Copies of this chain bind each other. A is one copy, B any other.
């Protein structure tokens, strides 16, 4: 059985240096790191991680429940989140569940199985009650969402997300600023007590603030975030209402499906219809035209989620962070032509 001492001896370094390499600490030269890793590989040495876990991770494991693994935006958040947790010495145990699964139950199970110190929920419902959350016995952070439709007191949980309502309102006002007044909305639901409803409210209030009458026929509900459903719904919207000049879509992927539907119906984007959305995943910069989108700071959201949990574990108070979005102006929005008949 190869030991850490054998590795240190073979490399001519101390045991603590080998340990630093194995724990991926930065304070080791690239040369030494490579030498140690080569020797580890060559010798077949595997650290006794059960022992390491006991020493390092006693009470330092956090769970991450990811709801909706098909959400491309979550991938960016998750990667940064695990990086940050690792940098802070946390062990992360992730659990992936479907977008219709119950994240509270998943979190409660994970907590009991793994003796977690805390939980980060990446995606979930917006309407928790204290009774529901009583099954969670450790501090938790809502990541990418908050509890706008629920009854949790602010001081029992932490959260980090963008301000969905104001971001959507800014998006709709951007379209209005380009002269658009017939602006369609593409959302899963206007009343799902979730992100769709929040963003729809922002859209409605932007219209109201500019004295634009809301045309209910321009609200296209899809029932889900499914791309095929979004595509079909937009095709139908075009058949039924031919006079909108802009569309606010609830997310990048929904917007991609909408753009395809518009183009397949011979509507040019942005010449005939401007399209603006929220998220800012990488791929939407490579579409034709590229999407204009309110970019969520995915990496910062992931990092802050870990920060917030660490604060609470250190005995500090729960906090709620709303991070800013930035408009990435792609090629999918333009001035409204019909609003300038003199040109």
CB A286 to nearest CB in B, in angstroms, measures 4
Distance A112 CA – B69 CA, assembled complex (angstroms)? 27
* Given pairs A41-B105, A41-B132, A283-B283, 10 additional interface contacts (CB within 8 A): A47-B109, A53-B113, A69-B78, A72-B72, A82-B96, A227-B282, A227-B283, A256-B287, A287-B287, A287-B288
Interface centre among A70, A263, A288 (most CB of B within 10 A): A288
Distance A140 CA – B228 CA, assembled complex (angstroms)? 36
Q: Which residues of A contact B (CB under 8 A)?
A: 37, 40-42, 44-50, 53, 69-70, 72, 75, 78-79, 82, 93-94, 96, 102, 104-105, 108-109, 111-113, 131-132, 134-135, 227, 231, 253, 256-257, 259-260, 263, 282-283, 285-288, 290
Distance A212 CA – B132 CA, assembled complex (angstroms)? 67
Among B70, B79, B109, B285, contact of A46 (Cβ-Cβ < 8 Å)? B109
Q: Check if A256 sits within 8 Å of B227, measured CB to CB.
A: no
Q: Check if B112 sits within 8 Å of A48, measured CB to CB.
A: yes
Question: Which residues does chain B contribute within 8 Å of A282, judged by CB atoms?
Answer: 227
Among B131, B135, B231, B286, contact of A256 (Cβ-Cβ < 8 Å)? B286
Distance A231 CA – B286 CA, assembled complex (angstroms)? 9
Q: Check if B70 sits within 8 Å of A79, measured CB to CB.
A: yes
Distance A219 CA – B130 CA, assembled complex (angstroms)? 60
Distance A231 CA – B113 CA, assembled complex (angstroms)? 46
Among B50, B75, B113, B286, contact of A75 (Cβ-Cβ < 8 Å)? B75
Distance A253 CA – B287 CA, assembled complex (angstroms)? 11
Distance A2 CA – B100 CA, assembled complex (angstroms)? 26
Distance A44 CA – B133 CA, assembled complex (angstroms)? 9
Closest to A95 in B: B94
Q: Check if B231 sits within 8 Å of A257, measured CB to CB.
A: no
Question: Which residues does chain B contribute within 8 Å of A53, judged by CB atoms?
Answer: 113
CB A272 to nearest CB in B, in angstroms, measures 14
CB A24 to nearest CB in B, in angstroms, measures 10
Question: Which residues does chain B contribute within 8 Å of A227, judged by CB atoms?
Answer: 282-283, 285-286
Distance A208 CA – B72 CA, assembled complex (angstroms)? 39
Question: Which residues does chain B contribute within 8 Å of A260, judged by CB atoms?
Answer: 286-288, 290
Question: Which residues does chain B contribute within 8 Å of A288, judged by CB atoms?
Answer: 259-260, 263, 287-288
CB A65 to nearest CB in B, in angstroms, measures 13
Question: Which residues does chain B contribute within 8 Å of A105, judged by CB atoms?
Answer: 37, 40-41
Q: Check if A47 sits within 8 Å of B112, measured CB to CB.
A: yes
Closest to A75 in B: B69
Q: Check if A44 sits within 8 Å of B79, measured CB to CB.
A: no
CB A95 to nearest CB in B, in angstroms, measures 9
Distance A105 CA – B256 CA, assembled complex (angstroms)? 39
Question: Which residues does chain B contribute within 8 Å of A132, judged by CB atoms?
Answer: 41
Distance A111 CA – B50 CA, assembled complex (angstroms)? 10
Q: Check if B108 sits within 8 Å of A46, measured CB to CB.
A: yes
Distance A26 CA – B94 CA, assembled complex (angstroms)? 25
Question: Which residues does chain B contribute within 8 Å of A290, judged by CB atoms?
Answer: 260
Question: Which residues does chain B contribute within 8 Å of A108, judged by CB atoms?
Answer: 46
